[in-house]
Amino acid sequence: MTTTRTLALIAGLLLTLPALGWEVGEFRNGMTRAELDEALKSWNFEQRLVVGSDSVYVYDAPDNPARRRFLFTFCNDKLVSFSQEIEPTFSHFVVVASNYSSLYGHPLEVVPQTNVIASGQTSELAMFWRRGPDYVGIRYAELPASEKLSMTWQVGNNCWQAPR
């Protein structure tokens, strides 16, 4: 009788725990590639590029004013990371970082990087916050001929260490 009550209590507690993993729009942690393909149908992206064995990059043509660019990364056929590029300005980086700091406190990790490549120097600053089992982040990169700014949602997985 006590064992049954204990098991019922544990089962009840497990059912009331919040769902694990991020969800952004109709994209959520744990989706299969087939589920992602189905969700992407209504978005009407102009280009789709499979990157390596674990990522899908969808984007609009450069002359499209929407300028949508999404990167989905999988681990063992389950979606574990979603990145969305936004208009790349340092002021946008500061606004998003400030908003995340207000919501989630101090960043869990700050990653500054500088490299020199054939076309010149690259500089990058990434910041990540913990939100339950998830990591949310912002990454600003200054490249020789352009800038890049993206927001990312990740969850720990067996394929690579999050956040990255």
In angstroms, the CA 29 to CA 1 distance is 38
Average pLDDT along the chain: 87
Using 50, 70 and 90 to split pLDDT, how confident is the model at 21?
A: confident
Is pLDDT at 16 greater than 80 in this prediction? no
Tokens of 36: 């992602």
**Does the structure show a pLDDT above 80 at 66?**
yes
User: What's this model's pTM, rounded to 2 decimal places?
Assistant: 0.81
